C-alpha cells in the first residue's frame, strides 16, 4: 500500500529536519556558525491516468489525469548565510569578518581550509594560528619584542616596537569568498573545504568585490536564532506526528482490507 511508504518518507524527512535543527541549536554559541536549513522536494509521481488520455467510455479527453505522488525527499541542506552579531573580546588577535568572506588556513595535510572563526592565537614561535593550531594564510610571525598589535579593516597587521616610532607592517591576512557558499564542505572545527560546487576561492581586497572587512577585538557570534529554531522544531515535530497519523490510518485501512471476504 502506497500510503504506508509515503508516510514513512514524510516521517524520515521531518526526522532529518529535527537533526538539522538540533545541530543548529547545539551550535548556538559556536563562533562564526551559520544555521543550516533542510529543503525538501516531492518524490516521483505515478501517472495512473495520463492527462490527455482518451476516456474509454465516451471518447472525451481526460483533462487532468490521475497522478499519485510517492512522498517527499530531502533536496538540500543549505546554509542560510547571515551576519552574526559581533561580540567584543578585546583580544588583540581576535578578528571578526563584517560581511562576506573567509580567512584561509593551512591544514596539517597542506590543504587550504576556510573559516569565519577569527579567534586567533600565536604560537611559541610567534606564528598566527587558529584555536586548533592551524596556520593562518599567509603565515605571519609576530616578533617577541612586538608591543602592540593592530589589525586594520583590510587585515593589515601592524606591530609597534620600542626602537621604532612608526608601527611596522608585519603582513596582511588573506580574505577570500566563494561563488557558492552552500557548495563548501564543512569539516567541523568551523572549517570549510573548497569543492567542485563551491567554485574556486575568489581573493580580493577587503571591503571590495563583495568582500567584508576585518574588525579587531571582536569575534563573530553564531547567527542561530533560537526562537526561529524552536518554532521550526515544533513544526517538524507536528509534521512528524501528522505523518505518523497517516501511517496509523493506512494501517487500519489495510487491516480492514484483510477482513474483506
Partner 1 sequence: MDNAGYTSLTRLSGLMREMSVVANNIANISTTGFRSEGLIFAEHIAVTGPRDPSLSMGTAIAHSISAQQGALEQTGSEFDLAIEGEGFFLIDTPDGEALSRAGAFIRNDAGELVTPDGNYLLDAGGAPVFVPPQASAVAVAPDGTISADGQPLTVVGLYMPNDPLELTRRAGTTFTVESGVRPAENARVLQGFLEQSNVDPMMQVARMIEVQRAYELGQSFMDAEDNRIRDFLRTAGQRS
- Under rule CB under 8 A, which residues in 209-248 are in contact with partner 1? 209-211, 235-236, 238-239, 242-243, 245-246
| Interface pick for partner 1 out of 147, 164, 200, 203 (rule CB under 8 A) | 200
Site for partner 1 in 114-153 (CB under 8 A): none
Nearer to partner 1, 18 or 86 (CB): 18
Question: Should residue 65 be labelled a site residue for partner 1 when binding is judged by CB under 8 A?
Answer: yes
Q: Which of residues 71-90 bind partner 1 (CB under 8 A)?
A: 71-72, 75-76, 78, 80-82
The correct pick among 25, 202, 217, 233 for binding partner 1 (CB under 8 A) is 202
Residue 166 or 208 having the CB closest to partner 1: 208
Among 18, 28, 62, 193, contact with partner 1 (rule: CB under 8 A) = 62
Q: Could you say which of 26, 51, 54, 187 contacts partner 1 (CB under 8 A)?
A: 51
Residue 169 or 197: the one with the smaller Cβ distance to partner 1 is 197
Separation CA 222–CA 132 (nearest Å): 18
Q: Residue 113 or 236: which CB sits closer to partner 1? A: 236
Q: Are 175 and 214 in contact (CB under 8 A)?
A: yes
3-state secondary structure the chain: CHHHHHHHHHHHHHHHHHHHHHHHHHCCCCCCCCCEEEEEEECCEEEEECCCCECCCCCCECCCCEEEECCEEEEEEEECCCCCCEEECCCCCEEEEECCCEEEEECCCCCEEEECCCECEECCCCEEECCCCCEECCCCECCCCCCEEEECCCCEEEEECCCCCCCEEEEECCCEECCCHHHCEEEECCEEECCCCCCCCEECCCCCCCCCEEEECEEECCCCCHHHHHHHHHHHHHHHHHHHHHHHHHHHHHHHHHHCC
Convert residues 1-40 into a mask of x (bound to partner 1 by CB under 8 A) and - (unbound): xxxx-xx-xx--xx--x-------------------xxxx
Instruction: Note whether 66 binds partner 1 by CB under 8 A.
Output: yes
Which residues ranging from 149 to 188 are in contact with partner 1 (CB under 8 A)? 177-180, 182-183
- Residue number, 186 or 246, with CB nearest to partner 1: 246
Closer of 128 and 250 to partner 1 (Cβ)? 250
**Are the C-beta atoms of 78 and 36 separated by less than 8 Å?**
yes
Cβ at position 241, least distance to partner 1 in Å: 10
Amino acid at each position: 500500500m502506497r500510503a504506508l511508504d509515503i508516510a514513512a518518507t514524510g516521517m524520515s524527512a521531518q526526522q532529518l529536519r529535527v537533526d538539522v535543527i538540533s545541530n543548529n541549536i547545539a551550535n548556538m554559541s559556536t563562533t562564526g556558525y551559520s544555521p543550516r536549513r533542510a529543503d525538501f522536494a516531492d518524490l516521483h509521481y505515478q501517472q495512473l491516468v495520463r492527462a490527455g488520455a482518451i476516456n474509454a467510455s465516451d471518447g472525451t479527453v481526460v483533462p487532468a489525469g490521475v497522478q499519485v505522488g510517492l512522498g517527499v525527499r530531502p533536496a538540500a541542506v543549505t546554509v542560510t548565510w547571515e551576519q552574526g552579531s559581533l561580540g567584543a573580546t578585546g583580544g588583540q588577535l581576535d578578528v571578526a569578518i563584517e560581511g562576506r568572506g573567509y580567512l584561509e588556513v593551512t591544514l596539517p595535510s597542506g590543504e587550504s581550509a576556510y573559516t569565519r572563526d577569527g579567534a586567533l592565537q600565536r604560537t611559541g614561535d610567534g606564528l598566527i594560528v587558529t584555536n586548533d593550531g592551524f596556520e593562518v594564510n599567509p603565515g605571519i610571525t609576530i616578533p617577541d619584542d612586538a608591543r602592540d598589535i593592530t589589525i586594520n579593516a583590510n587585515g593589515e597587521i601592524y606591530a609597534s616596537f620600542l626602537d621604532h616610532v612608526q608601527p611596522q607592517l608585519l603582513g596582511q591576512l588573506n580574505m577570500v569568498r566563494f561563488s557558492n557558499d552552500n557548495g563548501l564542505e564543512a569539516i567541523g572545527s568551523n572549517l570549510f573545504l573548497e569543492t567542485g560546487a563551491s567554485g574556486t576561492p575568489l581573493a580580493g581586497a577587503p571591503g571590495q568585490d563583495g568582500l567584508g572587512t576585518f574588525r579587531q577585538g571582536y569575534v563573530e557570534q553564531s547567527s542561530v536564532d533560537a526562537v526561529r529554531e524552536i518554532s521550526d522544531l515544533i513544526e517538524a515535530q507536528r509534521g512528524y506526528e501528522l505523518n505518523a497519523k497517516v501511517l496509523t490510518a493506512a494501517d487500519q485501512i489495510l487491516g480492514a482490507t484483510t477482513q474483506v471476504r
